[in-house]
Structure 1
Amino acid sequence: MKLRITPQRARRLKACGCSMLIHAVCIGVAVALSTNLFSPAPKTNEVIITLQPDEPATPPLDSADEAKPASLAGKPEPPPLPQPHHTVPASPNLQPAASETFAHSAPLLSELPSFTIPAPGETSKDETTAGITMPLIGHSSTKDEHSEIDSYFAIFTQTLRDAYEIPATLGPKRELAVRIQYEVAADGTIGEVTILRTSGSTVFDASVVAAFRAMRTVGPRPDNRSSVLVADFRI
């Protein structure tokens, strides 16, 4: 039997073939997409970074007690050692030396005598009139006793002038004054001589001290007393 295809049937067959081809293409695309979606991803070179933990900080000193074992933490602290008691010895009752007692108890002159020492070849009116006013301190004195004291220290002053020598190294003439403290014992002996106020010239100061040491004594005092005196020496 011979199949006869009419032009109308041929168009239908052609349209049906095109439709089937399109469906086949769509199905293929869908299958390909589903395969790509569900297939495992290809392996790549992975870089793994591992972070190191920070080093623990040094525990503070206050936490040292917390780190002690429980056996040590509960152990009681030893009792404190007794402090030694230092016994301070009583200060000795120091007695002043005899010279110190004498210096504090001896009376001083109420008026400072002035010795005017003339230069060689010069005459000073004070040479014969200058003296030491030596009031009797501590007891009443008669007019005769005052006269005896005045006479004694007039001799004392003249003897001191005679013993004094102007040093050749003193330099050009100038006004100098030195204040001296000296001791006169009851027997007239000259004791310690001290410079209370320097003249500024060590040569002049030394010459005055040397004069005291040269005279030594002018005999016993009429009042039979010892005293520390102060005098100014000028040149």
Structure 2
Amino acid sequence: MEGDERLPLVERGPENNNRGDAAPAISTEAIQKEADPPKERLRGFAARYASYLKYQAEHPEYDLEAERARMKEEAKAAWVKQRQGKETYFFYGTLMDPGIVQDILGLEAIPVMRPAVLRNRGHLMMWGPFPALLADQRPRVEVKGMAYEIEGAATKDRLAAYEGSNYTEITSLINFVRDDGSLEKGIFGRVFKWVGSEDDLKSGTFDLEVYKAAKAELEAGEA
């Protein structure tokens, strides 16, 4: 493991020569300076707190708890509105199959989806035959998939039910792929990330065609 360059090394002398792999001596003063928060941060907090106390004194009718409740209700209303509106979803597993999306969402026609990628968002591992996105974890690689616009909270809830409790929705930047392979400017959309136990995951890749063939064979055997 590389040393921490932030910590100054004490100059060597006859009384404190380091031998072998022994760690260099570090002054307690340096450790204390590292632990103390910057004075600028303390001054900034003090200024904000003083401003808050001044506002409270000038506006005795101000109710902090009521304001927090109001902001919470506004956030909830905004979330409900977002769920009812149109959002672009990125699929990287079985939902890349338009037929499965049609069945899950109860669509009359086969949905038209577009190739897309997630860039530097995380990487995939496998949960049995299903891929799982480990978001915000290294290595951050390009994840290929398909994107589709969905409208309505009830329709989106169907997706969540299909994905199950080991996955949850997050906001992510999605880049559509042009016919020539270049990427369009990213847009914010939704993707399901893994929230189950990482002990259940293994390295591997997901092949949609292999999955579809295995699924068809299984269904034929049950017929």
Q: TM-score range by the shorter chain?
A: under 0.3
Larger-Rg structure: 1
TM-score (norm 1): 0.19
TM-score by length of 2: 0.20
Higher share in strand: 2
